[in-house]
Chain A
Amino acid sequence: MKRFVSIWFPYLKTDWFSVRQPLLRELPFVLVTPHHGRKLISAANEQAVKRSICTGMVAADAKAIFPSLQVIDDEAGLSQRLLKRMAEWCIRFSPCVAVDGDEGLILDATGCAHLWNGDAGYLNDITSRFCNYGYTVRVAIADTIGAAWAVARFSNDNFIIEPGQHTVALLSLPAAALRLDDDTIDRLNKLGLRQVKDFIGMQRSALRRRFGKKSGSPKDRKTESFVERIPAGVSTSRLPDFPSSGLITRINQALGLEEEIIQPVIPIEPYQERLPCLEPIVTATGIGIALQRLLENLCCRLKKEGKGIRGVSFKCFRIDGKTEEISIGTIRASHHVEHLFRLFELKIASIEPALGIELFILHATKVEDHLPLQEKIWNSDSGLHDERIAELLDRLSCKIGIDAIHRYLPDEHYWPERSVKNVLSLDETTTTEWKADRPRPLQLLARPECIEVTAPVPDYPPMNFRYKGKLHTIKKADGPERIEQEWWIEQGQHRDYYYVEDEEGCRYWLFRLGHYDDASYRWFVHGYFV
């Protein structure tokens, strides 16, 4: 036997606005949507409803009734978004939760309520939690979705319908409680069938003749007349079975004679694996085995979904209540068990098992789509796109840190220190070309070092220079190459670079900072040529 909970939010959207702006709670306000040049009220809060303002009115009319009414623009799709989030949150109450229309949720509460000591405790918890968040809710529990829905919206006192009592509970409710469309309700009322008990006992064939199906569009009416023309004696089983909101279907659903299918929300399952241990684990080998098993399970799932790990953390819960954690990161998404295990292996030694570990949890903190490389017939040089290089860099960055690893791309600057940029990713490329028109030293000093020179002729390379206590006589030279400081980045003097060769054949990159005429110019060595 099944049990269902229906949650109704009478003021869902206005409550959401009130939660955001607590001042609105005491004021009557409405949400409006533009419709053919007018503003129609799409939601009104409790205060506004008390002043007989209801949805569907024109905002100007409502203002006439109550001049100080607050009018706020509605957001499209807000209620569905809210309900979806609430449905995911409601998984705490039941594993099967569905969004119901624009202002309600349906929970399949079969076998759930006893965890809250019965239906009363269950409904209380739901109501009080939503109230704490600032939402008005009406919650009912019954054997069928239809009955729970009806009771949540139309009952006044008893929201807990005991098992098997749902038919009795429905009797005194109005016809609208059966989730019928307005047209059907109108026709029922015209016939004097105002309450459920007035027509629920009628013969199905009689009801089907008049309310055989939903009436709405002209096309539907045509079929209806066809239905009506069928003589009463004809077996109804040959009639087409109309799904959804026909009166008969609704009655059957409310009474539990017909099954109603709901579409539960499916939460995104976290990429996580757990391994509880019977005996506490204290050895590195044991931890290794546990890690291996968890990685295999996780990677198996990732492989199926075409995903790869960028970051994983491995948590060990010790029996003394403390947690040990190690985590790794990769440069490219990977689901290669051996590789990931090797990355962890470097860090296993840092886990202190103390008295033992009773639970292991492996959690993928960052997951990305894994793009498999095309298989090749022969193993050619694929450059940096090789999987093995990415794996090597992962291992290196685990041990020596990612800061030590550099890959350089050209940058749009002439200033030597800024002419290359460091990139982290192996795939990044740039449209900038490397400049090769001027000689550049293979070895650049981290910062230019001051030297003493003899430079008698202005704007000529020096005759000799003293660097690290050694005198170098310049035999050949090239230059100058003037590089201006980029004033929009940094203020400073320009550099005049000279490519010089001393009597031993050693080649250096020297520069003079500032003009020769200035008294304050200085000479520096900035690099070694090959």
Chain B
Amino acid sequence: MPALKADIITQLKKELLALQGFRPLLHAQHKIELGTINHSFPGSQFPLGVNHEFICNNNESLTASSGFIAGILSSLLKKGGATVWISSSQIIFPPALVSFSIEPSQIIFIHLRNQKEILWTIEEALKCEGLTAVVGEINTLDLTQSRRLQLATEQSGVTGFLLRTNQRTLNTNACTCRWQIYPLQSETEDGLPGIGFPRWNVELLKVRNGKPGNWHLEWSNGRFNEVVVQTSSTIEEHKEAV
């Protein structure tokens, strides 16, 4: 009897998710390999067709978040598709995207200063069904604006990545996930000189219907690899250092 109930509950949960804008993946190739992070999401898959919000305190974390997005885009764009990348303070250097196995000419870069124009451009781009994903760098985003963007993504199925650069105006909004990413010291093999693979501390601050968490990720061999943290004290130490 309890098994039957559990079945019913999972079924109901699935229906609820569908009502809340989560849609099951149509193409298997769009599955994004994030290792254990995927367990934090409803349905154990990286939610596409929704808005992801990245909190960036400074240029370093902005670049780290951009790198994390580039990693996700690399699996999204594997089978073709196009992306619009709207930036205001940062200038993306396209050759760097090649190391994420992205063909930079698949991406249309838009460089704007005016926040209103950026918001309008992001919304227009999110409405365009021909795109795979939209990356937008934006200062502030209030509840109404984020709702508009969420409606646009739900309509078109385009995934939105919003880089929030002004931390002071952090408020509740309609984005499905809120991330915070900052760089970590890389490690080379056997302590050899030089710099190892890029490594980040990825924090999932908020996820609708999921479990937030904190992970250390490394981009190597064309995919995300989780770095196992030895002790909890090291994280604490690191946090103090930051």
With known contacts A420-B95, A434-B104, A505–B130 Cβ distance under 8 A: no
> What range describes how many residues of B lie at the interface?
35 or more
Q: Is A289 an interface residue (CB 8 A)?
A: no
List of 4 A-B pairs having minimum Cβ-Cβ separation, nearest first = A530-B67, A388-B130, A386-B130, A444-B93
Closest A residue to B68 by beta carbon equals A530
Q: Which residues of the other chain, A, contact B198 by a CB distance below 8 angstroms?
A: 507, 529-530
Q: Which residues of the other chain, A, contact B136 by a CB distance below 8 angstroms?
A: none
Q: How far is the CB of A279 from chain B (nearest CB, A)?
A: 35
**B174-198 interface code vs A (CB 8 A; 1 in, 0 out):** 0000000011111010000111101
A442 touches B70 (CB 8 A): yes
Q: Which of B94, B107, B112, B242 has the most CB of A within 10 A?
A: B94
Which of B70, B79, B185 is in CB contact (< 8 Å) with A501? B185
Q: Which residues of the other chain, B, contact A408 by a CB distance below 8 angstroms?
A: 94, 104-105, 109
**A528–B93 CA distance with the chains assembled, in angstroms:** 10
With known contacts A408-B104, A476-B185, A530-B96, A386–B241 Cβ distance under 8 A: no
**A439–B96 CA distance with the chains assembled, in angstroms:** 7
Q: Is A303 an interface residue (CB 8 A)?
A: no
Q: Is B81 an interface residue (CB 8 A)?
A: yes
Q: How far is the CB of A19 from chain B (nearest CB, A)?
A: 52
Q: Is B199 an interface residue (CB 8 A)?
A: yes
> B158-183: which residues lie under 8 A (CB-CB) from chain A?
182-183
> B97-134: which residues lie under 8 A (CB-CB) from chain A?
97-99, 103-112, 117, 120-121, 124-125, 128-132
**A211–B130 CA distance with the chains assembled, in angstroms:** 75
Q: Which residues of the other chain, A, contact B130 by a CB distance below 8 angstroms?
A: 382, 386-389, 392
A476 touches B93 (CB 8 A): no
- Name 22 A/B residue pairs within 8 A (Cβ), A-sorted: A380-B80, A381-B82, A382-B130, A388-B130, A396-B124, A396-B125, A399-B121, A406-B108, A416-B93, A419-B95, A429-B105, A442-B97, A443-B63, A443-B66, A478-B195, A501-B186, A504-B241, A505-B185, A507-B186, A528-B63, A530-B96, A530-B183
Which of B59, B62, B132, B200 is in CB contact (< 8 Å) with A381? B132
Q: Which residues of the other chain, B, contact A528 by a CB distance below 8 angstroms?
A: 59-60, 62-63
> What range describes how many residues of A lie at the interface?
35 or more
Q: How far is the CB of A12 from chain B (nearest CB, A)?
A: 55
> A410-448: which residues lie under 8 A (CB-CB) from chain B?
410, 416, 419-420, 429, 434-436, 439-446
B219 touches A530 (CB 8 A): yes
**A250-271 interface code vs B (CB 8 A; 1 in, 0 out):** 0000000000000000000000
**A503–B241 CA distance with the chains assembled, in angstroms:** 9
**A406–B79 CA distance with the chains assembled, in angstroms:** 22
With known contacts A388-B128, A400-B112, A408-B109, A383–B99 Cβ distance under 8 A: no
Q: Is B16 an interface residue (CB 8 A)?
A: no
Q: How far is the CB of B109 from chain A (nearest CB, A)?
A: 4
Q: Which residues of the other chain, B, contact A477 by a CB distance below 8 angstroms?
A: 193-195
With known contacts A389-B131, A409-B105, A400–B96 Cβ distance under 8 A: no
Which of B67, B79, B110 is in CB contact (< 8 Å) with A396? B110
B111 touches A406 (CB 8 A): yes
Closest B residue to A445 by beta carbon equals B91
A435 touches B82 (CB 8 A): no
With known contacts A476-B186, A504-B183, A443–B62 Cβ distance under 8 A: yes
A478 touches B105 (CB 8 A): no
Closest A residue to B104 by beta carbon equals A408
Q: Is A506 an interface residue (CB 8 A)?
A: yes
Which of B92, B107, B124 is in CB contact (< 8 Å) with A442? B92
Q: How far is the CB of A195 from chain B (nearest CB, A)?
A: 78
A530 touches B70 (CB 8 A): yes
Which of A381, A442, A503 is in CB contact (< 8 Å) with B93? A442
Q: Which residues of the other chain, A, contact B110 by a CB distance below 8 angstroms?
A: 396, 400, 404-406
With known contacts A446-B91, A504-B242, A530-B67, A478–B60 Cβ distance under 8 A: no
Closest A residue to B93 by beta carbon equals A444
Closest A residue to B132 by beta carbon equals A381
Q: Which residues of the other chain, A, contact B199 by a CB distance below 8 angstroms?
A: 505
Q: Which residues of the other chain, B, contact A382 by a CB distance below 8 angstroms?
A: 80, 130
Q: Is B20 an interface residue (CB 8 A)?
A: no
A400 touches B81 (CB 8 A): no
A393 touches B108 (CB 8 A): yes
Q: Is B220 an interface residue (CB 8 A)?
A: no
A506 touches B60 (CB 8 A): yes
Closest B residue to A395 by beta carbon equals B124
A sample of 7 more A-B contacts (CB under 8 A), given A389-B108, A530-B200, is A383-B106, A386-B130, A408-B94, A409-B105, A440-B98, A506-B60, A506-B183
Q: How far is the CB of A321 from chain B (nearest CB, A)?
A: 36
Q: Is A407 an interface residue (CB 8 A)?
A: yes
Q: Is A146 an interface residue (CB 8 A)?
A: no
Q: Which residues of the other chain, A, contact B185 by a CB distance below 8 angstroms?
A: 475-476, 501, 503-505
Q: Which residues of the other chain, B, contact A429 by a CB distance below 8 angstroms?
A: 105
**A351–B70 CA distance with the chains assembled, in angstroms:** 43
Q: Is B64 an interface residue (CB 8 A)?
A: yes
Q: Which residues of the other chain, A, contact B214 by a CB distance below 8 angstroms?
A: none
With known contacts A443-B93, A445-B91, A400–B121 Cβ distance under 8 A: yes
**A507–B182 CA distance with the chains assembled, in angstroms:** 11
Q: Is A384 an interface residue (CB 8 A)?
A: yes
Q: Is B90 an interface residue (CB 8 A)?
A: yes
B92 touches A443 (CB 8 A): yes
Q: How far is the CB of A13 from chain B (nearest CB, A)?
A: 53
Which of A384, A410, A505 is in CB contact (< 8 Å) with B186? A505
**A462–B198 CA distance with the chains assembled, in angstroms:** 21
Q: How far is the CB of B63 from chain A (nearest CB, A)?
A: 4
Q: Which residues of the other chain, B, contact A383 by a CB distance below 8 angstroms?
A: 80-82, 106
Closest B residue to A527 by beta carbon equals B93
Q: How far is the CB of A412 from chain B (nearest CB, A)?
A: 13
Q: Is A499 an interface residue (CB 8 A)?
A: yes
**A389–B91 CA distance with the chains assembled, in angstroms:** 22
Q: Which residues of the other chain, B, contact A444 by a CB distance below 8 angstroms?
A: 91-93
**A443–B80 CA distance with the chains assembled, in angstroms:** 24
**A73–B39 CA distance with the chains assembled, in angstroms:** 86
**A362-388 interface code vs B (CB 8 A; 1 in, 0 out):** 000000000000000000111110111
Closest A residue to B78 by beta carbon equals A381
With known contacts A382-B80, A441-B96, A505–B108 Cβ distance under 8 A: no
